[in-house]
Amino acid sequence: MKNLKNLERVTIVLVDPQDGANVGAVCRAMKTMGLSKLTIVGEREYSEERVKSLAVHASDLWDNHRRYPTLAESVAESILVVGATRRRGRRRKYFTLFPEQLAERINQTGEGEISIVFGRESDGLTDAELALCHIGVKIPTSDAFPSLNLSQAVQIIAYTLFRETTPIPPFTPIKEERLN
């Protein structure tokens, strides 16, 4: 069942992003898909100019973002915390969902805030950070080069959520006389 309100309760959480350009690109990726809540974990400072130059017309997300010193504090009010990760291991999440399965899970989750957590560009989320997440989400990629840019990963998840929660408008065919 598609539900636009599900987008309103999703927060994208970035753990210690390395560069303001990536933060700006994340803002743009989010806004194009109807997401508006951004949280940044960590104390790093970012150049406003660098963030806003890539955010383009989505700098309001940057202007309204929330900051927390720890991931635990940032997700404390969330009823569902999802860790975006491509890594598997003994101490990592025992299962991960594909983005489409995540959208379905969100559609089935009761009322409350949902956080989708993305790790550092260099090495993702730590085991301790993943332990704070209820489930994982994994974007399928080629084994030859499985690493996505932070904003690309956010865009894929955001697009999937948008597609799965937004009703598709009816198709109106173009009349033949317009084609000539």
- Of these ranges, 30-34, 87-91, 94-98, the one predicted with the greatest mean pLDDT is 30-34
Q: Give pLDDT, residue 171.
A: 83
DSSP assignment letter at 143:
T
pLDDT tens-place string over residues 108-136:
998 999 999 999 998 899 989 999 999 99
C-beta of residue 46 within 8 angstroms of C-beta of residue 172: no
Q: Between 150-165 and 20-32, two packed helices, what is the crossing angle to 10 degrees?
A: 10
For residues 53 and 20, what is the distance between their CA atoms, to the nearest angstrom?
Answer: 9
Q: How large is the average pLDDT for residues 51-68?
A: 97
178 vs 56, more confident: 56
Q: Give pLDDT, residue 4.
A: 60
Name the residue type at position 33.
Answer: M
C-beta of residue 102 within 8 angstroms of C-beta of residue 82: yes
Query: What is this structure's pTM?
Result: 0.90
Q: What are φ and ψ of residue 63, in 5° steps? A: -60, -30
pLDDT tens-place string over residues 14-38:
999 999 999 999 999 999 999 999 9
Instruction: Kindly provide the residue ranges of all beta strands, DSSP E only, lying in 47-134, ordered along the sequence.
Output: 66-68, 78-84, 96-97, 113-118
For residues 36 and 55, what is the distance between their CA atoms, to the nearest angstrom?
Answer: 13
Residues in the chain: 180
Sheet holding 78-84, edge to edge: 66-68, 37-41, 10-15, 113-118, 78-84, 135-137, 96-97
175 vs 12, more confident: 12
Grouping H, G, I as helix, E, B as strand and the rest as coil, residue 112 is: coil
